[in-house]
């Protein structure tokens, strides 16, 4: 069952078309990621779904606002109020409410409940924004670039929490331009660029389907013949840069096994062995012809 379905969504600001015929559906219980660079139309799409903007064209089927929880890019809460006051205020807008004490404990916020929002650190604010978005037991959680500006440890903790929420059956729609995070967290991703959806797929399928190569890199104690490496199964090309050899392959696991077999007969040693898997970043580059962070 779909919690959210949009068809042919369009939105223009004057002459600039921000969202150009976007369609996708989010199924109950999945984490769906909308990926793209700044200005791709992610935020506009999200704001239309959140009810902040109206679309020029298109059909939207989405749960009502009362069943939607939202974490905004910059989390806005009245800074002069304490966390307890804020939670009580926010749930008063909704028909349902969780036990707030329990909620606070779940998010490690219990000792901070009588602190004012303005006194929190970045990570604490983020935890609070998530807790506040969940206080009214939403069916759909919307996260708009939720980890921008947070340090890596906080980010990791945040995604762990998100994965836990999915286990509890929550449906999650998120945008991010951190591809590594999307790859780990999302069940499915939609790649968006210039207001258009280019692909919707499971991250791993997306990476595999496009025939994007992985790289095996290593250094060698003795010079190697490039031809010898090229003849190994699955290797597409070999390059040498000073002492580093750079092999391209579509089947990194197989090629690696073959390479290690070959090394046994090799009189020298290879070291600094690295495998670089194709990532969603590469998918993005392939689909759009430009880098995600450009």
Partner 1 sequence: MLKLTVAFLKIFFRNGRAIFFAVFLPSAIFAILALLNLEGIIRFGDAVSYSDYLLVGVIALAVMQTGIYTASYSLIDLKRSQVLKRLAVSPLTRGQFLVAQILSRFCVACLQVLVLLLLGTFVFDVSLRSLWAAPILVFLGSAVFLNFGFLIASIARDYEEAAPYTSIVGLTSMFLGDVFFPVANLPRELARIADFLPLKPLSQSLRFFLLGVPTPDLQQDLAVLILWFFGMFLLSWFIFSRRVYR
Residues that bind partner 1 (CB under 8 A): 50-54, 64-66, 68, 70, 72, 74-81, 85, 88-90, 92-94
Residue in 68, 48, 46, 65 with CA at minimum distance from that of residue 56: 48
Q: Six-digit token pair at 208?
A: 């595999």
Between 71 and 189, name the residue whose CB sits nearer to partner 1. 71
Token pair of 269 as six digits: 């040693």
For the bound state, the minimum distance from the C-beta of residue 135 to partner 1, rounded and expressed in Å, comes to: 11
CB-CB contact of 174 with 186 (8 Å): yes
Phi, psi of 237 (to 5 degrees): -155, 160
- List all residues 6 or more positions away from 210 whose beta carbon is below 8 Å from its beta carbon: 283, 286, 287
Beta-sheet pairing, 57-62 with 270-276: unpaired
Distance of closest approach, residue 30 Cβ to partner 1, in angstroms: 21
Provide the minimum distance between the beta carbon of 130 and partner 1 in the complex, in angstroms, as a whole number: 13
Whose Cβ is closer to partner 1: residue 85's or residue 263's? Answer: 85
Q: Nearer Cβ to partner 1, position 10 or 196?
A: 10
Whose Cβ is closer to partner 1: residue 82's or residue 194's? 82
Instruction: Give CA 158 to chain center in angstroms.
Output: 12
Q: How far is the CB of 35 from partner 1 (least distance, A)?
A: 22
């Amino acid at each position: 069952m779909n919690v959210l379905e949009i068809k042919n969504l369009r939105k223009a600001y004057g002459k600039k078309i921000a969202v150009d015929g976007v369609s996708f559906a989010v199924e109950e219980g999945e984490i769906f990621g909308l990926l793209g660079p700044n200005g791709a139309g992610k935020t506009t799409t999200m704001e239309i779904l959140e009810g902040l903007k109206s679309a020029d064209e298109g059909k939207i089927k989405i749960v009502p606002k009362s069943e939607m929880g939202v974490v905004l890019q910059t989390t806005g809460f009245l800074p002069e109020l304490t966390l307890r006051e804020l939670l009580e205020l926010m749930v008063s807008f909704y028909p349902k409410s969780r036990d707030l004490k329990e909620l606070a404990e779940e998010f490690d916020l219990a000792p901070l409940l009588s602190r004012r929002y303005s006194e929190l650190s970045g990570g604490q604010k983020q935890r609070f924004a998530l807790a506040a978005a969940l206080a009214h037991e939403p069916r759909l959680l919307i996260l708009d670039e939720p980890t921008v500006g947070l340090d890596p440890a906080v980010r990791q903790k945040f995604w762990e929490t998100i994965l836990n929420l999915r286990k509890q059956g929550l449906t999650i729609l998120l945008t991010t331009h951190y591809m590594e995070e999307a790859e780990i967290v999302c069940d499915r991703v939609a790649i968006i660029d210039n207001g258009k959806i280019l692909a919707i797929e499971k991250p791993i399928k997306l990476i595999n389907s496009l025939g994007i190569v992985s790289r095996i890199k290593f250094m060698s104690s003795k010079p190697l013949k490039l031809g010898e490496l090229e003849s190994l199964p699955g290797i597409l090309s070999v390059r040498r840069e000073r002492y580093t050899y750079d092999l391209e392959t579509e089947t990194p696991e197989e090629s690696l096994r073959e390479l290690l077999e070959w090394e046994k007969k090799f009189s020298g040693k290879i070291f600094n062995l690295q495998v670089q898997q194709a990532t969603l970043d590469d998918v993005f580059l392939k689909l759009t012809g430009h880098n995600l962070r450009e």
